[in-house]
Amino acid sequence: MRIGIAGIAIESSTFSPHRTGLADFRVTRGADLLARYAWTGDESLDVEWVPLLHAVSLPGGAVVKDVYDGLKAEILDRIGEAGPLDGVLLDIHGAMSVVGMLDAEADLARDVRKAVGPDVLISASMDLHGNVSRDFVEQLDLVTCYRMAPHEDTWETRERAARNLVARLRDGGKPHLAWVQIPVLLPGEKTSTRIEPAKSLYGQIEAIEAMDGILDAAIWVGYAWADEPRCQAAVVVTGDNAELVEAQATKLANDYWKARHDFAFVAPTGSLDHCVREGLASGIRPFFISDSGDNPTAGGAGDVSWTLRVLTAYRSRTIIYASIVDPESVAIAKAGGEVSLRIGGKIDGGPAGPVALTGTVAKVHEDPVGGTIVVVRSGGLHVIITERRKPYHLVKDFTDLDLDPAQADLTVVKIGYLEPELYDLAKGWLLALTPGGVDQDLIRLGHKQVVRPLYPFDPDMDTPDLTAQLIS
């Protein structure tokens, strides 16, 4: 069997002024692409894996149209050059927004389908924060998504998508897909599988998959920070028993709908001022505060300076701020010494413009993701400034900069829910409801193109018909 691997993967906020260019993508081809996946070396699968092109970017703003067109064109060209394929694995996120488009994944899947023809099986691996329109799923034969948020099962999901494809090619026949969208759109910080009701909703999947005639069951939360008609929750159940896949998809969708009022933030929330005061008063270390509105791993620009402006009033305490992207300030500060900077607010200046800060350069560090990184100390405030957007998810991200959250009064991170290492480290944690391109307050963002009625925008809407539709 010959199976091609391709994908363009990014989560894109249409509320962020940031634009994702080619330099933001890590593009792999050939042996480097195959090396991404451990299972491509599993000889027992008896598959010739054909590397096409894979491009992945840190979440950000919408992708520049010419960049998307160029990446897609190369995938299609490589399909044409690859010779006969039996299958294609699409390794995508599912919430890619492209300037001027409303359903980029459907466009990509449609053109891949045209390139390979109707008989080649296409299997997609997705993030559970992706969007699943009917136009998109109609191009697929198999689809699955993560079952954990935070996404500790990312690579397991990709392998499941690949092995499901191999098994189906070996056994023959196309499965049935039952699809239904659920008019609910919630941020990931309200739908973490660490807590109820998402924990139990996703907990049903194993039992459903164990049913005779079911191959896969998947629930998508959707992506809340794009303003597109496809943005809402969805369910797809796949298998050989058409009646059963339709019934199980309908049940999952109705269970999700019934639980809509039960979704709550994964951590205690409040205004930034409230969270800072509570954290400092607690005396607990390490104590983390999520600067959630500008989380770069959800699509935030990473340079919203609103939180930094507030923190400058607390320089008498030891606070780590991770982080803010500003290549201009980095260029000045990397020489070391005393510096006077105007930091942030240059990409997304909506909530606040550049913040004036005078301090001492405490560290200069070269990082493969963030580029040149500087730590500027102003009183007890340690501000991490990066040349390129970088998430701070690991303890090493701090120790590389000679910073220790356990020794600070507060560590403020541009993040939503804490990723596993920081979650395990934290003795205290609050989620600050801050402004930015991934604002947790969806209502104030001003969605205009989502399909209404939609919860929570229309809290008193009637119960929708959630009968799943059989796609194939």
Looking at residue 392, what is its pLDDT? Answer: 97
Q: How confident is the model at residue 225 (pLDDT cuts 50, 70, 90)?
A: very high
Using DSSP, state whether 46 is helix, strand or coil: coil
Assigned token pair, 423: 């979650």
- Which residues are within 8 A (CB) of 190 and not within 5 positions of it... i.e. 6 or more apart? 263, 264, 265, 266, 440
> Which pair of tokens denotes residue 348?
């997304």
**Mean pLDDT throughout 273-297?**
97
Instruction: Tell me: pLDDT of 173 over 90.
Output: no
Proportion of the chain above pLDDT 90, given as a percent: 99
Once rounded to an integer, what is the mean pLDDT over residues 390-406?
97
Tell me how far CA of residue 264 lies from CA of 108, 133, 267, 356, 388, in angstroms: 34, 26, 8, 36, 32
- Per-residue model confidence (pLDDT) at position 120: 98
With contact defined as beta carbons under 8 Å apart, do 416 and 295 qualify? yes
- Quick one: pLDDT at residue 81? 98
What's the mean pLDDT in 257-285?
97
- Please state the φ and ψ torsions of residue 312, each to the nearest 5 degrees: -65, -15
Tokens read off for 409: 């009064």
- pLDDT band of residue 223 (cuts 50, 70, 90) is very high
> What tens digit of pLDDT does each residue of 68-95 get?
999 999 999 999 999 999 999 999 999 9
- Percent of the chain at pLDDT > 70 equals 100
Burial class for 432, CB neighbours closer than 10 Å (0-12, 13-18, 19+): buried
Label residue 94 left, alpha or beta by phi (over 0 means left) and psi (-120 to 50 means alpha).
Answer: left
- Mean local confidence (pLDDT), 110-127: 98
Q: State both tokens at 191.
A: 């739908």
Rounded to whole angstroms, the Cα distance separating 414 from 297 reads 9
3-state helix, strand, coil in the chain (%, to 5): 30, 25, 40
Dist. CA 245–CA 34, nearest whole Å = 33
Strands (E), 263-395: 269-270, 287-291, 319-325, 338-343, 355-367, 371-378, 381-386
**Residue 46 Rama label (left phi>0; alpha psi -120 to 50; beta):** left
Cα–Cα dist 157/152, whole Å: 10
Q: Which strands, in side-by-side order, build the sheet including 2-9? A: 25-28, 48-57, 2-9, 87-91, 121-126, 142-145
- Report CA-CA distances (Å) from 219 to 128, 408, 440, 469: 7, 39, 21, 15
**How confident is residue 6, by pLDDT bands cut at 50, 70 and 90?**
very high
Residue-wise burial string across 230-253, b where 16 or more C-beta atoms lie within 10 A, e elsewhere: bbbbbbbbbbbbeebbbbbbbbbb
And the tokens for 238?
Answer: 């796949």
Residue 472 has pLDDT above 90, yes or no: no
Mean pLDDT of 351-364: 97
Reported as a single tens digit per residue, the pLDDT across 184-193 is: 999 999 999 9
| pLDDT band at residue 204 under the 50/70/90 scheme | very high
DSSP per-residue codes, 69-84: HHHHHHHHHHHHHH--
Mean of per-residue pLDDT scores for the chain: 97
State the Cα–Cα distance between residues 60 and 296, nearest whole angstrom: 6
Mark 2-31 as b/e (b = at least 16 C-beta within 10 Å): bbbbbbbbbbbbbbbebbbeeebbeebeee
- What is d(CA 115, CA 110) in angstroms, rounded to the nearest whole number? 9
Which residues pair with residue 233 across a beta bridge?
182
Using the predicted structure, report yes or no on whether residue 172 has a pLDDT greater than 90. no
This prediction's pTM: 0.95
Under the banding of pLDDT at 50, 70 and 90, the label for residue 379 is very high
> Counting Cβ atoms within 10 Å, is residue 56 exposed (0-12), middle (13-18) or buried (19+)?
middle
Give the pLDDT confidence of 401-417 residue by residue, as tens digits: 999 999 999 999 999 99
Q: Which tens digit of pLDDT belongs to each residue from 403-452? A: 999 999 999 999 999 999 999 999 999 999 999 999 999 999 999 999 99
